[in-house]
Chain A
């Protein structure tokens, strides 16, 4: 099992460009999450999907959109990237909201 995978690992964007971060899990988990981590900080929840077909805002959703494509895949889209979105983005999954989460390796995004 690969667990939680994320692509790309690194990305550099110019202000105003758009991109989609991809996340997939092969653990048959129902819930999936997107977080961002800024220097010296813990992780902050951007969006989550409690189950296939549902998405909900987390703590810092502004500037992002998500799609739960199917049970395995949960993507995060930046429509018009801003320097404030420079961060490391982590995807996670769990069987349900009350179960432990497993994290992907992260995507390091720089917006110039």
Chain B
């Protein structure tokens, strides 16, 4: 089946730093989403991005479907950005989540 790998698995940054999170997938997909799971466990939609580039404030994402990867950029990190970032892909009726990148922003 389709494999989804996220890197890095863990990331510790100082407040104000920028970061890039990566999601690789092993097959063509119908769609891709990025989520943020906050320290209270809530899953928050960040981007629905099967292809192309989107921006929302300090966050942006790019998916290059032909090369089977997506990137999530976080600029000027804040402590509230801490948590786990997941990408999830869908191929036909299969939905696969990556194992996530755990981000910890130090004040």
Contact = CB atoms under 8 A, between A and B. Distances in A.
Interface of A: 33, 35, 40-45, 48, 50, 56, 58-59, 88, 90, 97-103, 105-106, 108
Given A42-B98, A98-B31, A90 B43 contact: yes
Interface residues of B, number: 21
Given A42-B86, A42-B88, A43-B88, A102 B97 contact: no
A105 B44 CA distance: 10
Contacts of B88: 42-43, 101
B30 A105 contact: no
B99 A98 contact: no
Contacts of B86: 42-43
A100 B45 contact: yes
Contacts, number: 53
A108 B42 CA distance: 12
Interface in B73-102: 86, 88, 90, 93-100
Interface in B1-60: 4, 30-31, 33, 35, 41-43, 45, 48
B99 A97 contact: no
B96 to A, nearest CB: 8
A112 to B, nearest CB: 21
Contacts of B48: 99-100
B59 to A, nearest CB: 15
